[in-house]
Every structure is written in C-alpha cells, then in structure tokens.
Amino acid sequence: MPFHTLIPACLCSAQNFRYKSGTPRSIDLEIHANKDEKVILFEIDEKTNLISNFREYCGMCGKGQAICDLMIFYFSESDKTKTRKKHKIICLVESKGLDIDHALTQIENTFLNVKEKFSNKDCHYYPVKWSGYILTNRMGAMHTPDRERYERRFRKIFQHNCRISDNGDISDFLRSVK
C-alpha cells in the first residue's frame, strides 16, 4: 500500500504515541518507542477519522465491511544496511469494550482486504510480519468464558503474533512479534 495514500488522511497527529479514539469510554493506547524504533500510527476507521480514505482505497465500501481502528507500522533499526533486511511489523488494532467477537471480525476483515497491498517484494517495507491487538476495557472481555475461543480465532489469522489485552501499552507486544 502506498504510504502517500495513508499519510495525508490517516496519520495520527499525536506525536507522543498516545491514541484515544474519541469515542465514549475509549481506552488509551500507548507506545513508548526507544531511539532505534520507528512507529507510525494510522487512524484508518472513518468513524473516528472523518478524512480517512482507507476504506475506499482497499475496496471495503460494501455492506458489512468492518474495519479496525488503527494500523501501526513498526520497525527497529540498528543501522542503515540491516534495516532494509529486517522484517517490518504491521499491527492492526481495535479498541473494544465487551464485544471481542466484533473486534475480531473488524481486524480479520481489515487484514484480508489490505494484506496484498503490502506484498510487493521490491518495496522498502518488505518483508512484513502481520500482527493484531485487541485492547479491551478492564471490566469486560478479559474474564469472559469465551476468551479461549477468541484467542484461537485470533491465532488462526496471526499465529502467535496477536493479543487480547487490557494493557494500553502496546510497546512490549510490538517488540515481541516474530
């Protein structure tokens, strides 16, 4: 996916890597990047980002085309030559209260519609490792009897590069993606 399409319309304006969707009872998402880490947050859901054109670009305009809140582009660089060879991480994030099933649908649908946009082996962001993160409130889905079923469904999409958590700091999760 060309970043020139995402940057003007979806780039989050918060420079301190703290995201709050603006919806009632939303949960803060934080990223504490080290000096050798690069993190770009894209607010792709047009319900919270009125100028987002992500849905149109990815052909997700039909009925039932659920989309997640954020797409995070992350990589760590030790020096210029190694950076191009290391994998980059794209993490699809949904902030949700109790409806984890719907959050999974949003992330899965976004992934299925966007993954081919990042498959060009000649681009500087290749290779890409995909991951998913559902941020839930502390009162809700963390303690549901369906949690194991949700996690199995999530792993079908991202293997072990996924997490359902009430921890708003996603930094360690991004660093753990393999």
Task: State how many domains the chain has.
Answer: 1
Which long-range contacts (C-beta less than 8 Å, at least 24 apart) are formed by 97-100?
97/25, 97/136, 97/137, 97/140, 97/141, 98/136, 98/137, 98/140, 98/141, 98/144, 99/141, 100/134, 100/136, 100/141, 100/144, 100/146, 100/147, 100/150, 100/164
Tens of pLDDT along the chain (178 residues) come to 455 555 544 555 443 344 555 555 556 788 888 878 888 888 888 777 766 777 777 777 766 688 888 899 888 876 655 555 567 899 999 988 778 899 999 999 999 988 887 777 777 667 789 999 999 875 555 667 788 899 999 999 999 999 999 888 999 999 999 8
Domain that holds residue 156: 3-176
Model confidence, pTM:
0.83
At 22-52, the pLDDT tens digits run 555 556 788 888 878 888 888 888 777 766 7
